Each structure stands twice: as C-alpha cells, then as structure tokens.
Amino acid sequence: MSEAGRDYIGFATLPDQVHRKSVKRGFEFTLMVVGDSGLGKSTLINSLFLEDLYKNRTISDVEDRIHKTTTIEKTTMEIEERGVRVRLTIIDTPGFGDAVNCDDSWKVVTTYIDDQFRQYFTDESGLNRRNIQDNRVHCCLYFVPPWGHSLRQMDLEVLKRLHRKVNIVLVIAKADTLTTCEVEKLKTNILNAIRENDIQIYEFPECDSDEDEEFKQQDRELKASVPFAVVGSNTILEVAGRKIRGRQYPWGVVDGTVDIQFNCEIIFLPL
C-alpha cells in the first residue's frame, strides 16, 4: 500500500466519514421557551432566527387569562448555515404563569418533555430505527422577569422539576429596563438561589488546552455572563451606517442583536 493510500484507508478517516454523513443528513434541534407572557419570548426568538414565527398569533384579553392554562405551541423551520442544515423546532408555552393560581403551570411543560422521551425510547426499541425523528427537548430557555430581586417561588418550583430533564439556560428578559448595577445584582441573587436550591443549569464545557487564546477568552466571558441578560427587537434601525435590530429611546439606541451558533450550544452576546 502506498503512502498516499494510507492517508485515505483505515480508521483514521472515521471522523471525516462521520462528519460528512452527519452534515449530509442534517441535525435536529428542539428549543423550548418558558416564561410569563409579555417578557419578549417571541421577540427574542424572532431576533435569534431572523424570522417572524408568530405573525398569526392573537393576544388574549386580561379577563381571558384569569383561568387560562398553559398550552404547547410547536413551530418547525429549516435553516442552513455554511452548508449545515438544521431542522429547528421551537416549543412555546403560551399561558405559562398567566392564571391566578399558577401551581400547575409546570405540569404541561414536564408532561410534554416526558412524552417526547417516552416516544423516542419506543422508536429506538422498534425494528425500524433508520428514520427515527428526534423530538426530545434539547434546551430550555427559561425567562426571568427583570422586575424582581431574584427567582420567584414559582420559578424555583418549575426549575426543580425541569433541571434533571433538559438543559436549562436562564435568561433575564428585557434587560434594557435595568441599569448595569441592577443587572449584576439580579444575576448574583439568581445564582445564589440556584445554588441554595441545588438546581443544575447548563454549564459551558471547559476549553481544550490547545485552543487559541481568543476562543478561551470568549469562553471565560460567556461563563461569567450566566444568567444571560438579553434584549430582543423586531425593529430594524440604521445606526452609524449599519442596520441593526434594536430599540429606539429618547436617550439612544439599544442594540438588540443576538448571536447564535449551532454547535449544540446557544451563544448570547453578553450585555
């Protein structure tokens, strides 16, 4: 066998083969969004994926929310970045936290997640496993309101029931309503509440020792920014000669642009 042949035959090429097969088949990613109405969940999702996924949604009256229960809304879209296809499924939870009695708000969410695990297990246990569709929830964006001092009791109860079932990413919604000091204080209180209640949230993996310094610095900044404070916007503004998604205020413009990478991690630019 020639030296050239050794470069292309054998288990050394297995990673390339797996990579090509995975890219050709594409990936499936399911993102669940949980939080009170009015926190900008739909706006942030539209900002992330540059789509209007909820253009046909109607806003319920206040009277209708008194006895409203949490429901599940499923939206699927195909996106492609640098030749990699992703079948993205957004699971929204309208009605969460709207009722006067919110004790059962978590039941619909946890039941849906458990059902997807059960269905996936059933499909894998069958004879035809070639075309299994993975509908398991891979990540949950949990929105924390900016007007509190920490996590509410309802938030803690929901997170306790979710943290062993799905990767949880905490998001402080509408962060432009807070000052920098208020954001830092709220983050500290949230992290303290997480530790005191033994709740596990998603943690970024450690960098390999051979990674470049720029990547390591980005990783350190992301870890230090948890929970993420975000601003979403559907409005296109022109600032300093470039177009951005942002919010216009009398005192200036808030850049609501959020960056996202689909390497199984959702990356938010910290405020």
CATH at 90: 3.40.50.300
In a domain, 86, yes or no: yes
Q: Residue 249 corresponds to which amino acid?
A: Y
Per-residue pLDDT, 54: 62
Write out pLDDT tens, residues 166-213: 999 999 988 888 888 999 999 999 999 999 999 999 988 888 777 788
In the prediction, which pLDDT does 176 show? 83
Tell me, what's the pLDDT at 27?
Answer: 79
User: pLDDT confidence of 244, banded at 50, 70, 90?
Assistant: confident
Per-residue pLDDT for 22 more than 80? no
Q: Which residues contact 148 (CB under 8 A, 6 or more apart)?
A: 186
Residue 125 lies in a domain: yes
Judge whether 38 lies within some domain: yes
Angle between helices 105-125 and 153-162 (to 10 degrees): 10
Is 267 among the domain residues? no
What is the number of domains present in the chain? 1
Indicate whether 99 pLDDT > 80.
no
pLDDT (tens digit per residue) in 108-161 = 888 899 999 998 888 888 777 777 778 899 999 999 999 888 998 889 989 999
> What pLDDT is attached to residue 271?
36
Instruction: Quote the CA–CA distance of 267 and 197 in Å, as a whole number.
Output: 26
What's the domain range around 146? 24-53+61-234
* 217: in domain: yes
Average pLDDT of the chain, as a whole number: 77
